[in-house]
Amino acid sequence: MSGRQRVRAWIAAPVLGLFAALLGWGFSGAPAFGAFHGAYGELLNRIAVPQRHSTNVVTAIVFDYRGFDTMGEEFILFASVVGVVLLLREMREPAGDQDDPVTSDAIRLFGLVMMSVVVVAGLWVAAFGLVTPGGGFQGGVAIAGGIVLVFLAAGYRPWTRFGSQHLLDPLEGGGAAAYVALGLAALIAGAPFLHNLLGLGVTGTLKSGGSMTLLNWAVALEVAAANLVLYTEFLESYLVPHLSRR
Amino acid sequence: MVALCLDPLRQIFLSGVYGLLLVLLFVILQAPDVALSMLVVSTVAYPLIVLIAISRTRRERGKE
């Protein structure tokens, strides 16, 4: 340790000690581990299944009781992705005929198998969002992660078929618009915004939850497309200009 | 630990491990929905973005 570092350590030590003491004092007043005092949660736990026919109470809260908040969250994602696109797409030169083929058969095969497994798992998590833990957000990110494996396992050429802005931009906007459209449909029908209009279906099946099912798929579409747009922009801006020209 | 490790590639693996620990904590605390969200974000979305950025900086360093 040089002299300068020693001086820095001496200055930092009392400040860090102070923060550690503050943290310890704060934790000493915290409730016991696992203790929960929220009356709202207990209430929803009791009424959500009979009221909304969804066995996953979290999804019932996210898409119904707190559906308006979720719309805000969806548009946070939408706006941030639009920001990334505005920043990166403007500065970029159009990609030429670069390619970066993967030559190993083992990687190609493994990537293909993993891609189908991950995409099916993502669809499954999204589809069963109203029955078991999961939902559109988690499923959407998994689907996007599965599709981006095409780039990792097969190279840039096959990837451009999925990572095209002409395909992804409308899908992303469409997912966000579908959520708002479902909310407005309730308004037109004379009910409050995002009111659960459709029949609630049989508890514990894929068709349970009424409008929540459609909202769930709208979010899955929006999240999957938003993630893919994000990956595409990063790949096109940072990797593709450095690939070897053919 | 993530801050102490200087190689960006190791940092991203370490932060992935921390994400996984958080997932386990959520599962133990009976919050499977949050655990799934954390799982997909901390092991798929976040490392991918950072890995792309790292590969770019490595290429540029290789040129020099």
pLDDT at A224: 94
Residue A193 lies in a domain: yes
Q: Cβ contact (<8 Å) for A133 and B40?
A: no
CA atoms in the 13 A half-sphere facing the CB of A18: 5
CB A219 within 8 A of CB A74: yes
Both tokens of residue A100?
């970066």
The answer to whether residue B29 neighbours chain A at the CB level (below 8 Å) is yes
The answer to whether residue A238 neighbours chain B at the CB level (below 8 Å) is yes
pLDDT at A23: 95
Residue found by looking up tokens 């403007």 in the block: A90
Q: How far is A186 from chain B (nearest CA, A)?
A: 27
Q: Return per-residue pLDDT of chain A as tens, 246 residues.
A: 578 888 988 999 999 999 999 999 998 988 887 777 788 888 888 888 888 888 888 888 888 888 899 999 999 999 999 999 998 887 776 666 666 677 788 888 998 899 999 999 999 999 888 888 888 899 999 999 999 988 888 888 888 888 888 889 999 999 999 999 988 988 888 888 878 777 777 777 777 777 888 899 999 999 999 999 999 888 888 777 777 654
Residue A15 lies in a domain: no
Give this complex's ipTM. Answer: 0.81
Both tokens of residue A186?
């309730």
Residue B59 or A226, more confident:
A226
pLDDT at B25 over 70: yes
Can you tell me the mean pLDDT for B5-25?
86
Residue A42 lies in a domain: yes
Domain range for A142 is 31-245
Residue A169 lies in a domain: yes
Q: Cβ contact (<8 Å) for B45 and A141?
A: yes
Q: How far is B27 from chain A (nearest CA, A)?
A: 11
CB A240 within 8 A of CB A95: yes
Residue A21 lies in a domain: no
The answer to whether residue B52 neighbours chain A at the CB level (below 8 Å) is yes
* Residues near A104 by beta carbon (within 8 Å), at least 6 away in sequence: none
pLDDT at A97: 63
Residue A37 lies in a domain: yes
* Residues near A117 by beta carbon (within 8 Å), at least 6 away in sequence: A146
Closest chain A residue by Cα to residue B31: A133
The answer to whether residue A110 neighbours chain B at the CB level (below 8 Å) is no
Closest chain A residue by Cα to residue B63: A242
pLDDT at A155: 83
Looking at the partner chain, which of B36, B44, B49 has a beta carbon nearest the beta carbon of A134?
A: B36
Residue A20 lies in a domain: no
Alpha helices in chain A (DSSP H): 3-28, 39-52, 57-60, 67-91, 105-127, 136-154, 156-160, 165-188, 211-234
Q: How many domains does chain A have?
A: 1
pTM reported for the whole predicted model: 0.83
Both tokens of residue B2?
């993530």
Residue A228 lies in a domain: yes
Q: Cβ contact (<8 Å) for B37 and A125?
A: no
Mean of per-residue pLDDT scores for chain B? 82
